[in-house]
Structure 1
C-alpha cells in the first residue's frame, strides 16, 4: 500500500512539474535585455548605418531593388494573443519588423529607425470590399492618438485579396502598386488598436479581427509565440512561431552607443549607389517630395524624433567626431541648390505625368466597372428570360393537366348520368310490365265474376261458348259410341 501511494505521489509531482515547465516555456523571456548597441552590431553585416539628419543612426538593408518592408520575404500569422504578426524570412527580420519604424528616403530608399517597444508589426491597416492592406508606420507617429488622421503615402501600402490573409504564399497575390490610389478610395482605416502585455509593458497591435477574416479565408490557424534564445529569422512549425524579442534598455545609456561603421547622409552618393531602390533619381526625388509634403500636411506639429526621444544631447557625444564632415556635406548640398532647381521643372512634369497616369488608371477602372455593370445587366436579363420561360412552361403544363382533369371529370359525370338514366328506364319498364300484368289479372277476375251459371252445371266458357254439365257430356259420349 505504501509503495502504491509513493508511486501515485511521484506521478502527480511529475505531471505538475511538466505542466509548470510547459507554461513557463510559453511565457516571454522578459529577463533578456539588450541596448541599441545590439541593433548596431547585429544588423551591420546585413546593411549600412547612415547618420540621417532627422533621426540619427538609421539602417538601410542590403537587399534587392523590389524590397518593401512588411511585404517582401515574409507573411502574416495569427498569434495566440489575437495579433497579426509579421513572420519574416530574413535573418535580420527579428529587429526591424518588430522594433522601431520604417520610412522611405527619395535617395536612399527604405530605411529603419531603431525603437524601444516590441510589436507584432508596426503597420497601419485598411479594409473594404475584397481588400486588406497595410503600410509601415513612420517614425514619430504616436499610437496613443489612434490612426484616424494618419494617412501614409499611397505607395507605402500593400494590398492583397481578403481570402489570402494568413496564407504563406500571400506575396503571390499582391495587387499591383499602381492600383493603390483606386483601392484606397474603396477602403477605410481599420482602427482596431489594442494594447497587449509583454514583460510588464504594453505593446501595439492592430489589424482586422479574426472573425472578419474568416468570412473570406475560412478558418484561420492560430500559432503560439515562443521566445528564441538568439537573434535570427522567425521560425514557424507545429503551430508555433519562434522569434527573438528581448526588452530594450531605455535611458541615457543609449546615447554612448554607436555603430562601428557609419556613413554620412549624402544625396550624391545615394544617387550613384542605391542598393534597395530601383527608381531613377527623378522618380526618387518626386516620391520624396510627395512623402515629405504629405507627411507634414497630415501631421502638423509632430515631432519626428518623438519615437526614439532623439535630442541634441543624445547625439552630442557620438557626433562630435563627425561634425566637421557633416558641415562640409551640408555646404556641398547648398552648392547643389542650383542643380536641384533645374530639376524642379522636370519633377513638376513628372507629377503631371503621374496625375495623367492616375487619370488613365481611373478611366480604365471606370471602363471595367461599366463593363462589369453591362455584363451583370445582361446576366440578369438572361436569368429573367430563363425564369419567364420556365414559368411559361410550368403554366402550360398546369393548363394541360387542368384540362385533362376537367375532361376526366366530365366523362365521369356523363357515365354516371348514363347509368342513372339506364336504371330509371329499367325501373319504368318494370313498373309498366307490373301494371300490365295487374290489369290482365283484374280483367280475368272481372270476367269470371260476370259469367251466368246453369243448374246442370253447364255454362259459358271463357271464350263465350256454352259449357254443358256433367250429364250431358256423358250422354253425348255414349251416343257417339253407339
Structure 2
C-alpha cells in the first residue's frame, strides 16, 4: 500500500484535518496555499496545494481559472462523462457528523471532505481546494417524496441551480447518481421541497449542513441506514450521538 493510500485510510478513520497531516509531514501552510488568492507563482514545492496536486493529478487536470483560482477537474475516463460531485460513483452514508459521500475511489478523502465544487460551463465540474474538513460540503432539501442536495460553491462564487434530486426510496442506494431525477425537474422539486438540516459552525468559522437525521430518513424510507466508519471530532463540535451497528427502520439510530 502506498503512502497516500495509508494516509487516506487514516483520514477516513480519524476525520482529522489535512492541516495536521501536512504539519506532520513537515509542510508549512499559510493563507496563500488555498483559494482564489492562489496564483501560479504562489504554488511552491511543499505547499499544501502541491500536496493535493500530488494526490489528484493522476486522476484529473489542475487549472488556474481567472474567476476562481486553482481548481482540479476529474478525468472523464476516471469518473465518467456525466460526472456530478456527491452523486456519481458512490452512496450516502450516515456518520457522527452528518451524511458523507462514500466511493471506491482512492482519492475521495480529498474533494468530498475538503474544498468546494463549482460547475463552470466551459469546463464542467471543478474542485476548489481548501483546508477545512466537513462530512460533505452540500446544502440539503427534502419532503417525504424527494431529497436533494447541492454542492456549496467557493466563497463569492455562484453555483446557479446545481441540485441533485432523487426519490426518498432511492436515496440510500449504491451508485445513487443513477437514480437522479431529470435536470429539467429540478426547479419544480426545488419549489416542492424544504431546507433540512442545521448549520454546524466549522473550525474556521464556515459551516456545513449535516442534512436530515438518520432517524428521520429511516422513518421515511423504512430502510436500514448505512453507517460510515467512526470519525474522530474534526472541529471540537460534539456529535449528537455515537455510531453503532446499522440502524433498522424499526429502531433507527441517529448515526451522528
TM range (shorter): 0.5 to 0.7
Is residue 222 from structure 1 mapped to residue 235 from structure 2 by the alignment? no
Structure 1 equivalent of residue 112 of structure 2: 97
Partners of 2:60 and 2:73 within 8 A in 1: yes
2:22 maps to which of 24, 33, 44: 33
Partners of 2:116 and 2:153 within 8 A in 1: yes
Q: Secondary structure at the match of 1:166?
A: coil
Structure 1 equivalent of residue 98 of structure 2: 83
Q: Secondary structure at the match of 1:116?
A: strand
> 1:205 offset after TM fit, Å?
3.9
2:133 maps to which of 110, 113, 118: 118
Long gaps (5+) in structure 2: 1-11, 24-47, 233-243, 247-256
Q: Distance in 2 between matches of 1:41 and 1:126?
A: 35
Structure 2 equivalent of residue 207 of structure 1: 211
Is residue 153 from structure 1 mapped to residue 160 from structure 2 by the alignment? yes
1:127 maps to which of 142, 146, 153: 142
Structure 2 equivalent of residue 372 of structure 1: none
Partners of 2:91 and 2:174 within 8 A in 1: yes
TM-score with structure 2 setting the length: 0.66
Partners of 1:74 and 1:89 within 8 A in 2: yes
Partners of 1:118 and 1:203 within 8 A in 2: no
> 1:212 offset after TM fit, Å?
1.6
> 1:54 offset after TM fit, Å?
1.9
Is residue 175 from structure 1 mapped to residue 181 from structure 2 by the alignment? yes
> 1:152 offset after TM fit, Å?
5.0
> 1:182 offset after TM fit, Å?
1.4
Is residue 137 from structure 1 mapped to residue 152 from structure 2 by the alignment? yes
Structure 2 equivalent of residue 65 of structure 1: 81
Q: Distance in 2 between matches of 1:169 and 1:195?
A: 30
TM-score with structure 1 setting the length: 0.37
Q: Distance in 1 between matches of 2:107 and 2:62?
A: 14
Aligned pairs for 1:37-56 within 5 A? 37-56=50-69
Q: Distance in 2 between matches of 1:180 and 1:161?
A: 12
List per-residue Cα deviations over 1:188-233 (Å, max 9, x = no partner): 2224222478xx9996342112222112222424333358xxxxxx
Task: Summarize the Cα distance change of 1:28–1:160 in structure 2 as closer, same or farther, 3 Å threshold.
Answer: closer
Q: Which has the higher helix share?
A: 1
Partners of 1:159 and 1:174 within 8 A in 2: yes
Q: Distance in 1 between matches of 2:159 and 2:196?
A: 13
Q: CA RMSD for the aligned pairs?
A: 3.0
> 1:59 offset after TM fit, Å?
1.1
Q: Secondary structure at the match of 2:133?
A: coil
Is residue 188 from structure 1 mapped to residue 194 from structure 2 by the alignment? yes
Structure 2 equivalent of residue 164 of structure 1: 170
Task: Summarize the Cα distance change of 1:164–1:29 in structure 2 as closer, same or farther, 3 Å threshold.
Answer: same
List per-residue Cα deviations over 1:267-298 (Å, max 9, x = no partner): xxxxxxxxxxxxxxxxxxxxxxxxxxxxxxxx
Q: Distance in 1 between matches of 2:192 and 2:200?
A: 25
